[in-house]
Amino acid sequence: MFEKSLWVFHLNSGSCNGCDIEILNIFAPKQDVERFGIKLVGSPRHADAIAFTGPVTRECLPKVIEAFKAVPEPKIVLAIGSCACGGGIWYDTYAVIGGVKELYKILKEEYGIEPPTTIYIPGCPPKPEAIIYAVAMARGLVKQKQKREIYIEELDEKTERDIVEILFGEAKETRHFVPNIVVKTDGGADEP
């Protein structure tokens, strides 16, 4: 789709700056990705792709939606770093909605916008080489190396209860916040 060049708008939607530094790194003389026709642009209206770093915070959400809609179609999304991919360690915290997938859910429900082609680059932060590989993939210069795989762990009721008991026991010995977990015993009585 973007055989000649790829202009990228970089959007920090709540990053700690680790991923942003790696993006700057690939434009420095050592990696110099501009030689592949990749360029950062200052406005989403001039971009072919939007590169997200960080989880999407509730504070940023309106601006993120505005910037997303401003990138002309067809566009691609680069989710750079574990936070952009799925929210990272912040995925269930009160101040963030999660990663790009949660953003896509909102875009679909509120605006009827279908998710664009998205390249996920996990890592905290990902290495510059991984970002370059992903961008080269978007340009059609290299092929995807891994197939998409989904792992599902099937637990029987007993295993699930054992896991909760182990976690609960560990939590008692540390200062971690313990949610109000109720473990059901075989006899039907509830234990805290």
Task: Judge contact between 44 and 9, C-beta under 8 A.
Answer: yes
Examine residue 99 and tell whether it contacts ligand SF4 (CB under 6 A).
no
Task: Judge contact between 52 and 46, C-beta under 8 A.
Answer: no
Give min distance, CB of 126 to ligand SF4, in A: 8
Give min distance, CB of 186 to ligand SF4, in A: 42
Residues sharing a CB contact under 8 Å with residue 165, sequence separation 6 or more, in sequence order: 183
Q: Which residue is nearest to ligand SF4 (CB)?
A: 18
Give me the amino acid identity at 62.
P
What length does the chain have? 192
* Tokens 């179609």 found at: 73
Examine residue 83 and tell whether it contacts ligand SF4 (CB under 6 A).
yes
Examine residue 88 and tell whether it contacts ligand SF4 (CB under 6 A).
yes
Give me the amino acid identity at 24.
L
Site string for ligand SF4, 15-44 (x = CB under 6 A): xx-xx-------------------------
- CA–CA distance, 41 with 9 (Å, rounded to integer): 5
Examine residue 13 and tell whether it contacts ligand SF4 (CB under 6 A).
no
| Kind plus residue range of the DSSP H or E element containing 39 | strand 38-40
Per CB under 6 A, the list member of 99, 125, 132, 134 interacting with ligand SF4 is 125
Give min distance, CB of 19 to ligand SF4, in A: 4
- CA–CA distance, 58 with 14 (Å, rounded to integer): 9
Stretch that binds ligand SF4, among 57-65, 69-77, 78-86, 173-181 (CB under 6 A): 78-86
> Under the rule (CB under 6 A), what is the footprint of ligand SF4?
15-16, 18-19, 53-54, 81-83, 88, 124-125
